[in-house]
Structure 1
Amino acid sequence: MDRIVSVAPSATSIVQALDAGDRLVGATAHCEVADVPRLGGWLNPDLDRIADLDPDLVLTNDQLQADLRDALRDDGFRVAHAEPATLDDVLSSFRTIGDAIGLPERGERLEERARDRIDRIRNVTLDGKDRPVVYCEEWGDPPMAAGNWVPEAVRVAGGRYPFVEPGDRSRKIDRPAVEAADPDFAVVHHCGAGEPSTRALVEREWDLDAEVCAIDDSLLNQPSPRLLDGIERLASIVSAVDPAVEEPSVAAGQ
C-alpha cells in the first residue's frame, strides 16, 4: 500500500513504528506526523479531502470510529479498522496493521518485540499480594476511571486496579468509590488535555492518601507502541523501578 491515510493517532504511530511513515499522505490534526496534509479531527475528518488524496488504504481505530469506517467504505474507500479493548488486542493490532499495509513480517516482528518488552517489565515489577492500589483517571468532568487496556497496564506495572475490569470501557466514577478503594497512587492522564496536570483532581479535594501524578494522555490512552512507554512510566511510579528496555520498533528491511 503506497498511499495511506490515517484518521487515528494510534494507527499513525503504528505505521511509523513499522518504518512506513513515508507512505502516509494524510492524517488528522491529532496525529504526530510531519509534512502531510491535515484532515480535521479524528471523529470528523474531511471526507472530500481524503478523496482528493486518492489513498490506497484508510486506517481507522476504536469503536468510536465505527460509524466513520462505515461511511468511508460506503464512499468506496478501502478501510482497515481495529477496535482494541484489551492489552492483547493492542499488541495484536501491530501485526494486523502490518498485514493491512503489506508489511506482514514487520508487523509480526513489532508485535513480538512488544510482547517481549511487556514480559521484561513484568519481571522487574512487584509480584504477590502486596500490590499498591492505583487509580487512573482518563477524564475529569465527569471523573472517569480508565478502562480498556489500562487495568492490565497497571497490573504489568506492579499495581492493582479495582475500578474497571480489563476490556471494559472507561466509566464514570464518584468520590465515595475512589475513596473507598484507598488508592496508593492516582495517575491523571486526561484525554486531549495537552500539558499533563493534576489540577483537576487536586482541586476536587477528595480525601485521598495517594501520591498524585500526571502523565501525557497518549502514554495510556493510545493503543499503539506509545502504550509500552506508558507502562514503563507506570512501573517507575508504582514499583519505583526503571525497566530500561528498548522502544518496540522495527528497522527497515527487518
Structure 2
Amino acid sequence: MTAPRVVSLAPSATATVTALGAAELLVGVTHHCDRPADIGSAHGEEFPIAIGGWLNPDLDRVADLDPDVVLTSDGLQSDLAEDCRERGFDVRHRAPATLDEAVETFAARGADVGRPAAGERLAADSRRRLDDVASAVESRPRPTVYCEEWSDPPMAAGNWVPDAVRAAGGRYPFVDPGERSREVDLAAVERADPDHVIVHVCGHGDRVDPETIASRDWAVDAPVHVIDDSLLNQPSPALIDGVERLAGLFHPETETYS
C-alpha cells in the first residue's frame, strides 16, 4: 500500500503525527507548526512544505501537493475544514475540548494517517502516564491555580487546561472543562487567592517575563511560572508533558515530577 500524502493545517495535528512516528508522511505543514527534524522523508529534502498560517493557509498550494488527507483541528478551523472539503480534499477534522477527548484524538489521528496501531499505542501510553500522575498526587493538598493563556486582556485558559490542572493535583475555579478560554476580571483572580499562577501565552513559547505578571496592580501573592505554551495550548501529546510539568510545580515533593 502506498503511504498517504498528508497535509497538516494544525500544529497539534503535526505534533501528533510526529509522535506517532509518521512524520515522513507529512508533505505540507503551516508556518505555525514545529517542523519535524530529520524525518528522512521519501518525498525529498524540501518536504514538508510550509503552506501558510493555520487560519489562512494557501489552499492552492495545498492542492499542488496532491494530499491524500488534510488534517484540521479546533473550532476555529471549522470553516477552513469546510473550504477544504469543497475543494475535494479528504479532510479529517478533530476538535477535542477536554483532556479525555484530546487523548482519544491521538488514536483517531493514527487512523487518519493509516497508522491505527500506533495511534492506539500513543493513546494508551498517554493514559498510563496520566494514571501515574494521578497516583503520585493522590491525597495531597490541592493548590488553587490560575492559568493565563493571554495577557492583554488577561484570559483564563479553558478547553482541556482545567482538566490538566486537576489531573496534576490542582484546583481550577476559573473555567469549567471543555469551555473556551475567556477574559477574566483580575478582581476575580484575587478573590480566588491562587497558590500558583501559570503563564502560557499563546504563540509566545516560554518567552514571557514573569515579572510583567508578578508586578501587576493586583493583590495576588503567588509564584508566577512561565511555561512553553505548547505544553498546554494544543491538544497534542505535549499536553501530557504539560500535566507532568504542572504536577512538579504543584507538588515538588513528588520526586517523579520535581
> Could you tell me whether the CA contact under 8 Å between 1:189 and 1:196 is conserved in 2?
no
> Could you tell me whether the CA contact under 8 Å between 1:154 and 1:231 is conserved in 2?
yes
Whole-angstrom distance in 2 between the partners of 1:202 and 1:74: 48
Whole-angstrom distance in 2 between the partners of 1:229 and 1:185: 18
Whole-angstrom distance in 2 between the partners of 1:122 and 1:65: 33
Q: Which residue matches 1:166?
A: 177
Q: Which residue matches 1:189?
A: 200
Q: Which residue matches 2:92?
A: 80
> Could you tell me whether the CA contact under 8 Å between 2:205 and 2:227 is conserved in 1?
no
Per-residue Cα deviation, 1:220-247 (whole angstroms, up to 9, x for no partner) = 0010000011111101111113435xxx
Amino acid of the residue matched to residue 243 of structure 1? T
> Could you tell me whether the CA contact under 8 Å between 1:235 and 1:243 is conserved in 2?
no
State the Cα distance separating 1:2 from its structure 2 match: 1.8
Amino acid of the residue matched to residue 119 of structure 1? D
SS of residue paired to 1:232: helix
Alignment of 1:148 onto 2:150: no
Q: What are the equivalent positions in structure 2 for 1:92-131 lying under 5 Å apart? A: 92-127=104-139, 130-131=141-142
1:139 paired residue among 127, 135, 150 = 150
Per-residue Cα deviation, 1:87-113 (whole angstroms, up to 9, x for no partner) = 010000011111111111111111111
Whole-angstrom distance in 1 between the partners of 2:166 and 2:9: 30
1:18 paired residue among 11, 16, 20 = 20
Per-residue Cα deviation, 1:63-122 (whole angstroms, up to 9, x for no partner) = 000000000000110000001000010000011111111111111111111001100011
> Could you tell me whether the CA contact under 8 Å between 2:14 and 2:29 is conserved in 1?
yes
State the Cα distance separating 1:57 from its structure 2 match: 0.4
State the Cα distance separating 1:176 from its structure 2 match: 0.6
User: Which residues of structure 1 form unaligned runs of 5+?
Assistant: 245-254
User: How many matched pairs?
Assistant: 243
SS of residue paired to 2:50: coil
Whole-angstrom distance in 2 between the partners of 1:111 and 1:243: 21
> Could you tell me whether the CA contact under 8 Å between 2:206 and 2:226 is conserved in 1?
no
Q: Which residue matches 2:214?
A: 202
Detail structure 1 runs of 4+ shifted over 6 Å in the superposition: none
The verdict on how the C-alpha distance between 1:235 and 1:69 changes in structure 2, with shifts beyond 3 A counting, is same
The verdict on how the C-alpha distance between 1:196 and 1:231 changes in structure 2, with shifts beyond 3 A counting, is farther
> Could you tell me whether the CA contact under 8 Å between 2:205 and 2:230 is conserved in 1?
no
> Could you tell me whether the CA contact under 8 Å between 1:92 and 1:111 is conserved in 2?
yes
> Could you tell me whether the CA contact under 8 Å between 1:232 and 1:242 is conserved in 2?
no
SS of residue paired to 1:26: strand
SS of residue paired to 1:206: coil
Amino acid of the residue matched to residue 224 of structure 1? S
Q: Report % sequence identity.
A: 55
Q: Which residue matches 1:249?
A: none
Whole-angstrom distance in 2 between the partners of 1:201 and 1:126: 30
SS of residue paired to 1:204: coil
Whole-angstrom distance in 1 between the partners of 2:123 and 2:143: 29
SS of residue paired to 1:40: coil
- Which structure has more RCO (C-alpha within 8 Å, separation ≥ 6)? 1
Whole-angstrom distance in 1 between the partners of 2:97 and 2:59: 27
Q: Which residue matches 1:243?
A: 256
TM-score by length of 2: 0.91
Whole-angstrom distance in 1 between the partners of 2:220 and 2:17: 40
